[in-house]
Amino acid sequence: MAKTKIVGMILAGGKGSRLLALTHKNAKPGISFGGKYRIIDYTLSNCANSNVNIVGVLTQYESTFLNTYIGNGEKWGLNGVRSLTATLTPRQTDQGQAWYAGTADAIYQNLEWLDEKDPAYVLILSGDHIYHMDYELMLNAHIENDAALTIAVLDVSLEEASRFGIMITNEDGYVIDFEEKPAKPKSTLASMGIYIFNYKRLREALMEDARDPNSSHDFGKNIIPSLLKANDKIYAYVFDGYWKDVGTISSYWRASMDIVDEIGSVKKEKGILGKPIYTEDTNSLPQYIGKEARIKDSVTNQGAIILGEVSNSIIFNEVEVHGDSHVTHSVIMPNVIIEKNCEIAYAVVGPEQVIKEGTKIIGTPDDIKLVAI
């Protein structure tokens, strides 16, 4: 069997508890985003656009929907003769059954699957970030710099740096120190949670970590420090495009508004709109805009019925906005019905909600209102 050049492993098992009721029955990567997508569509589309053709998606929390949605990878063109998408869940073995205990443990529990693919490199990704990235460029940098591990980093502000794992590098771009969410950061190069490992070295590090009873089995807390201690070459690949972790209602709303803002802008080269994002077709009817309706600076998907006023908002498929209702600076997820004479501002309305006639849901940019089951 020919050796596989690179395999992508997407960590998609998180609950996303800061997104509150949106993840009550759905893992964070499966949440609707951008008018027609799911959050995980971005990472899977990046793989498809970067010729990463063998992908494992590691699911855990409320995995039923996500496993079904991912299927065989057809939505992203990752189901061909030389491509493969597999959902990898915790499973019962001769050693028993255990949930993934951490990011590193999740990969460790799937080493047999990786061994079957026999990759030269493994690309480890998160399934809950919004961004466009060409992983081939990162792989080229990894090879050119003879690294055991390459970490994608984003240059953030000093104020933001304490929220991230921070890389301290030398003049050649190699990591010489690493700080996990430091109170006083020595650098502003924040880890994006995107890693390329030489598979042989990754396997060794995971086997060693699994034998350590005191380990948290986490890449940031354990694996990266262990490679630094062993003097492995770790290269920091600086990414200068759009990237956002939509881990809170506020950040989810802000990223959604970035789409609205950018569609009306001419500066799209490094923004949230980039290479194609692939997703399922809902096979909805065309959208309908009533004669009294007004829509301004908004995204509306197929199947939507707009009879009221919508501005600076994202309207998903099968949403109904009835007469004399006003929606502004909000995200309205699939199958929501907004009855007459409602006012919604600075809000995120989860799927399947019915907003009764005369309801007012008024937030502010600093206090986004969430309506969900």
CATH number of the domain enclosing 210? 3.90.550.10
Is residue 273 one of the residues assigned to a domain?
Answer: no
Q: Which domain holds residue 347?
A: 281-371
| Same-domain status, 52 and 143 | yes
Type of residue numbered 172: D
- The residue out of 217, 245, 273 marking a domain boundary is 245
| Same-domain status, 8 and 137 | yes
| Same-domain status, 187 and 329 | no
| Same-domain status, 158 and 39 | yes
Is residue 262 one of the residues assigned to a domain?
Answer: no
Is residue 125 one of the residues assigned to a domain?
Answer: yes
Is residue 361 one of the residues assigned to a domain?
Answer: yes
Is the predicted pLDDT of residue 252 greater than 60, yes or no?
Answer: yes
| Same-domain status, 241 and 288 | no
| Same-domain status, 238 and 316 | no
Per residue in 157-196, pLDDT tens?
998 999 899 999 999 999 999 998 899 999 999 999 999 9
| Same-domain status, 195 and 151 | yes
Is residue 255 one of the residues assigned to a domain?
Answer: no
| Same-domain status, 234 and 300 | no
Is residue 260 one of the residues assigned to a domain?
Answer: no
Per residue in 279-329, pLDDT tens?
998 889 999 999 999 999 999 999 999 999 999 999 999 999 999 999 999
| Residues in Cβ contact with 223 at an 8 Å cutoff, skipping those fewer than 6 apart | 104, 205, 206, 209
Q: 349: domain CATH number?
A: 2.160.10.10
Confidence at residue 268, expressed as pLDDT on a 0 to 100 scale = 52
Question: What domain count does the chain have?
Answer: 2
Share above pLDDT 70 across residues of the chain, in percent, rounded to a whole number: 94
Closest to 280 measured CA to CA, from 32, 88, 24: 32
Confidence at residue 272, expressed as pLDDT on a 0 to 100 scale = 67
Alpha helices in 211-361 (DSSP H): 224-229, 249-263
Q: How confident is the model at residue 93 (pLDDT cuts 50, 70, 90)?
A: low
Across the chain, mean pLDDT equals 92
| Same-domain status, 225 and 294 | no
Is residue 259 one of the residues assigned to a domain?
Answer: no
Is the predicted pLDDT of residue 44 greater than 70, yes or no?
Answer: yes
Is residue 266 one of the residues assigned to a domain?
Answer: no
Is the predicted pLDDT of residue 62 greater than 60, yes or no?
Answer: yes
Q: Which pTM value belongs to this model?
A: 0.93
| Same-domain status, 308 and 209 | no
| Same-domain status, 299 and 150 | no
Q: How big is the chain, counted in residues? A: 373
The answer to whether the beta carbons of residues 117 and 4 sit under 8 Å apart is yes
| Same-domain status, 201 and 299 | no
Q: How confident is the model at residue 1 (pLDDT cuts 50, 70, 90)?
A: very low
Q: How confident is the model at residue 348 (pLDDT cuts 50, 70, 90)?
A: very high
